Amino acid sequence: MSKIWLIIQREYWTRVRKKSFLLTTLLAPLGIVAFMVVSVLVALSGETERRVVVIDETGLFKNKFEDKDGFYFKYEDTTLAYMNEVYKNLQYDGILYIPQPKNWQTIRPEYRSESQLGPTAKSHVTSQISRVTRNILIEQEKVDKQALERINNIDVSITQKIIGEEDDKQASAELGTALGYALGFAIYIILLVYGTMVMKSVAEEKTSKVVEIIISSVKPFQLMMGKVLGIGLVGLTQLVIWGFLMIGLYTILGLVFAGYLTELSQVANDPAMSAGAPDQAKVAQFIEAFRQVNLLQLFGIFVFYFVGGYILYGSLFAAIGSAAGDDMDGNQSLNFIVTVPIIISIIIMTSVVQEPTSTLAVIASIFPLTSPVVMPARLGFDIPGLWWQLALSMIMLVLGFIFTTWLAGRIYRTGILMQGKKITIKDLGMWLRG
């Protein structure tokens, strides 16, 4: 046992001390934040100012456009031909020409300028024109404007409540799906990234012949487990650091937007207010549901599936690494034996977040090869009977990784000593028996 511990320590420290570890650990969350900041900045700075002159043949649009979204409107009573000549000298960026329509159902205005409008800017202008046209029609048809507004603003938002639970517990399908995707993908990425790391490291140890020296002191199984666990601890360390960074960011954002959040939750609980702003209400419900999630419990279960799934797949990756020849490319065909079930898991997961109570969801979240990705993806939903499924799934996962480490150990101890010849799946089977 103390030898495994020595190996774990070496595997852990040589990786954690690397500059690249520090960089990826710190930069990954910063990268995500930077990505969000940049996309917000792009969205904000996307507006260019346009001064637009309106030539209106109907006479009904005068002074009706709002100056917003970067558009500033002026109205001139002149001909289009004349304005075409002088609009530049008058410092306009474009001409909006509204001809007399044949009927008020089809409006065909023209926007003339040196450069085309982008899709967003175009839709801004279009929506202004249709808003004004609607008002013109309301006048013409003598429709009760307020009645129409009420009809147009019907807001339907289903609140799901779980029967038998406390009344104030709100379920949010949107939250479930979002959380499910996030957790499932996180495990998927972790399995692939750290699994590949194990495989490469084993293959390197084999081709550099270090393994020949190490196994004169320790059993192959000890070396394999030491490596799998050591690299797993590196992953866990990274996860914990990211967790703290997230909590830090969450707290900072919470402080900055404290007022906004309170406002939102008031909106959620006040039907009169939420009627006016349907989107806001949905967001508020989402946030309210998120507040009710037991984050600590969620994190605990997530870590369990991370550890269990990682040991299960990590040991299989180690076995594949042990079969590596001198050229790493030849290893690809063996690699896929292990990556295929992970990829199948993610495919199942995307369907499970839509139907978290389906039979497929139940089976896939109990079967140990798929459960590490599929089960966490269901945690965001309130599912009847989830607890016994969770218990069964966890037991199966533990049995699963005991089995795969045993299996991998048998392949590994032969594989690491095989030199030269290209290894096939058939060979792996033979080592397993031998």
Partner 1 sequence: MNILELDHINKSYGSHKANKDISFNVEKGAVFGLLGPNGAGKSTLIRIITNIIAADSGTIRIDGQAFKEAHNQIIGYMPEERGLYKKMMVGEHLVYLGRLKGLSKADATKKVKDWLERLQIADWWGKKIEDLSKGMQQKVQFIATTLHDPLLLILDEPFSGLDPVNSNLIKDEIFELRRKGASIIFSTHRMEQVEEICEEIVLINNGQNILQGKVKEIRQRFKENKYQVLYNGTHAPTQLPGYEIVVEKEGTLVLKALEGQSPNQLLRTLLDQGLEIHHFNEILPSINEIFIRQVQIP
- Residues at the interface with partner 1 (CB under 8 A): 3, 6-7, 10, 14, 208-210, 212-218, 220, 413, 417, 419, 430, 434
Residues constituting the chain = 434
Burial class (CB in 10 A: 0-12, 13-18, 19+), 171: middle
C-beta of 218 vs 328, nearer to partner 1: 218
CB of 49 to partner 1, least distance (A): 57
Q: Where are the alpha helices (DSSP H) in 87-219?
A: 119-141, 145-152, 173-207, 210-214
C-beta of 223 vs 386, nearer to partner 1: 223
CB of 299 to partner 1, least distance (A): 33
Strand duo 170-171 + 110-113: pairing: unpaired
245 near 232, Cβ under 8 Å? Answer: no
C-beta of 62 vs 209, nearer to partner 1: 209
CB of 209 to partner 1, least distance (A): 4
Q: Which amino acid is at 51?
A: R
User: Which candidate, 340, 343, 323, places its Cα nearest to that of 331?
Assistant: 323
CB of 240 to partner 1, least distance (A): 25
For residues 198, 201, 204 and 208, what is the CA-based torsion angle, rounded to 10 degrees?
A: -130
CA count, 13 A, side-chain hemisphere, 122: 10
C-beta of 176 vs 325, nearer to partner 1: 325
C-beta of 385 vs 434, nearer to partner 1: 434
- Helix (H/G/I), strand (E/B), else coil: 225: helix
83 near 40, Cβ under 8 Å? Answer: no
C-beta of 7 vs 323, nearer to partner 1: 7
Nearest-angstrom CA–CA distance, 18 and 64:
64
Q: Which amino acid is at 331?
A: N
CB of 9 to partner 1, least distance (A): 9
Nearest-angstrom CA–CA distance, 214 and 206:
11
Structure-token pair, residue 124 = 């801004």
Nearest-angstrom CA–CA distance, 225 and 215:
13
- Helix (H/G/I), strand (E/B), else coil: 100: coil
CB of 425 to partner 1, least distance (A): 16
CB of 117 to partner 1, least distance (A): 57
The CA-based angle 227-231-234, given to 5 degrees, is 150
C-beta of 137 vs 430, nearer to partner 1: 430
Q: Which amino acid is at 87?
A: Y
C-beta of 84 vs 419, nearer to partner 1: 419
CB of 10 to partner 1, least distance (A): 6
C-beta of 56 vs 205, nearer to partner 1: 205
DSSP secondary-structure letter at 18? S
CB of 208 to partner 1, least distance (A): 4
